[in-house]
Amino acid sequence: MKIKWLESPLVSVPEEAKREAERALAKVDLGGLGDYERDGSSATLYMGEGLLLKLARVEGRLLVLASVWECGSLVEEHVVGEVEG
């Protein structure tokens, strides 16, 4: 499986974060991942520098969500990738 990264004018994902997320994806138990909208379940792929990348199942699709944090508060969250394969 591979992450297809989407271009977002709202969130910039550093290359290092993308590489770490790709490595973490290989370790995720996809069968145990519930529905994000229903129960909020997700798997952390990367955390650092005010950015959290998480894998979430939304409407049957595996999406990578970027959560941007400042001073301990969630500022915004955007879809930045989708798992293929």
Question: Rounded mean pLDDT of the chain?
Answer: 93
Q: Please, are residues 38 and 56 in contact by the beta-carbon 8 Å criterion?
A: no
Residue 1 β-bridge partners: none
Q: What is the mean pLDDT of residues 75-81?
A: 94
pTM of the model: 0.90
Residue 25 has pLDDT above 90, yes or no: yes
Torsion of CA 13, 14, 17, 23, to 10 degrees: 90
Q: What is the mean pLDDT of residues 37-57?
A: 94
